[in-house]
Amino acid sequence: MSEELIFRFNVDGDDFTSAGQASVQVKKNLRQLGIDAETIRRVSVAMYEGEINMVIHAGGGVAEVRVTDEYIEIVLDDHGPGIKNIEEAMKAGFSTAPDTIRSLGFGAGMGLPNMKRYTDEMHITSTVGVGTKIVMRVNI
């Protein structure tokens, strides 16, 4: 593998209104690289869900996107409460989002399943009380 590009974003946990901005920026960057529209869409959908999760469930974190000539990797790293039971969290419809969040239209429990669906690979490591790290890959 020759080169890789890295885009790094701080995802602000206090600012709901700017949630999702990193994925919009990533989309712009990937367009500039000439990545095909369908791949961009998959990356952007998956990243958006992950970004929103960091804001809602973990008080923010860091998002990193690595582009190589074979794949695009999205790494989402936070120091939030962690996920107790990953298998359960991955189930469609499972959500711990409080009512206040649901009233904003989030909390359907579809984020993690969609991230899995739109990417070729996804790994979650999480420790309760320490944080969560999600790595996703979309092959080019």
Q: Which residues bind ligand ATP (CB under 6 A)?
A: 49, 53-54, 56-58, 78, 80-81, 83, 89, 94-97, 106-112, 132
Handedness of CA 15, 31, 2, 116 (dihedral sign): positive
Least distance (Å) between residue 37 CB and ligand ATP: 24
Residue 38 sits in the site that holds other proteins (CB under 8 A): yes
Helix (H, G, I), strand (E, B) or coil at 91: coil
> How many degrees, rounded to 5, is the angle at CA 87 between CA 85 and CA 88?
70
Among 22, 54, 67, 136, binds other proteins (CB under 8 A): 67
Question: How close are the terminal C-alpha atoms of the chain, in Å?
Answer: 13
d(CA 122, CA 124): 7
List binders of other proteins among 79-138 (CB under 8 A).
105
Closest CA to 54 of 14, 94, 113: 14
Residue 111 sits in the site that holds Mg ion (CB under 5 A): yes
Segment near Mg ion (CB under 5 A); pick from 17-25, 51-59, 79-87, 121-129: 51-59
Helix (H, G, I), strand (E, B) or coil at 54: helix
Residue 69 sits in the site that holds other proteins (CB under 8 A): yes
Among 11, 22, 44, 136, binds other proteins (CB under 8 A): 44
